[in-house]
Amino acid sequence: MSELFGIIGNPIEHSLSPLLQNEAYTLNGIDAHFQAFHIAPEDLEKAIQGMKAIGVKGFMVTVPFKAAVIPYLDEVDPIAKQKNAVNIVQYIDGKYVGFNFDGEAWLKALLEDMGQKSLRTEKILLLGAGGAAQSIYHTLTQFAEVHIDIANRTLDKAEALKKLGDSHPHTHVISLEEAESKQEQYDIIIQTTSIGMWPNIEESPIQITNLKTGAFVSDIIYNPAETKILEQARKSGARTQNGMKMLAMQNALAIERWTGQKVSYPKMMMSLKEALHST
Ligand code: NAP
Query: What pLDDT, in 10s, does the model give residues 60-113?
Result: 999 899 999 999 999 999 989 988 899 999 999 999 999 999 999 999 999 999
Ligand 1 atom closest to the Cα of residue 250 is 40
Rounded distance from Cα 191 to ligand 1 centre (Å): 9
Q: Is the CB of 111 under 6 A from ligand 1?
A: no
Q: Is the CB of 210 under 6 A from ligand 1?
A: no
Q: How many CB atoms lie within 10 A of CB 32?
A: 19
Residue 279: per-residue pLDDT:
62
pLDDT in tens, 181-226: 999 999 999 999 999 999 999 999 999 999 999 999 999 999 999 9
CB 233 within 8 A of CB 242: no
Q: Is the CB of 137 under 6 A from ligand 1?
A: no
State mean pLDDT over 54-62: 97
State mean pLDDT over 248-256: 95
| The listed CATH number (3.40.50.300, 3.60.9.10, 3.30.1360.230, 3.40.50.720) that belongs to domain 103-242 | 3.40.50.720
**Counts of helices then strands in the chain (DSSP H, E):** 10, 12
Give the SS3 label for residue 98.
Answer: strand
CATH no., domain 3-100+245-278: 3.40.50.10860
The answer on pLDDT for 165 being more than 80 is no
CB 6 within 8 A of CB 52: no
pTM, entire model? 0.93
Q: Which helix (H) or strand (E) holds 44?
A: helix 44-53
Average pLDDT, the chain: 95
Q: In 3D, which of 188, 194, 258 has the Cα closest to residue 223?
A: 194
Write down the domain spans for the chain: 3-100+245-278, 103-242
Sheet strands (E) in the chain: 3-9, 32-38, 56-61, 75-76, 88-92, 95-99, 123-127, 147-151, 171-174, 188-191, 216-219, 239-241
Do 3-100+245-278 and 103-242 share a fold? yes
Q: How many CB atoms lie within 10 A of CB 4?
A: 16
- Please confirm whether the linkage preceding 266 is cis (ω < 30° from 0): no
Percentage of the chain surpassing pLDDT 70? 99
Query: What are residue 278's phi and psi, to 5 degrees?
Result: -90, 0
| Radius of gyration, CA atoms only, the chain | 19
Q: Is the CB of 157 under 6 A from ligand 1?
A: yes
Q: Please, is 223 exposed, middle or buried when counting C-beta atoms within 10 Å of its C-beta (0-12, 13-18, 19+)?
A: buried
Q: Give the residue, out of 192, 222, 269, with the most ligand 1 atoms within 8 A of its beta carbon, to mutate for a pocket test.
A: 192
State mean pLDDT over 14-40: 95
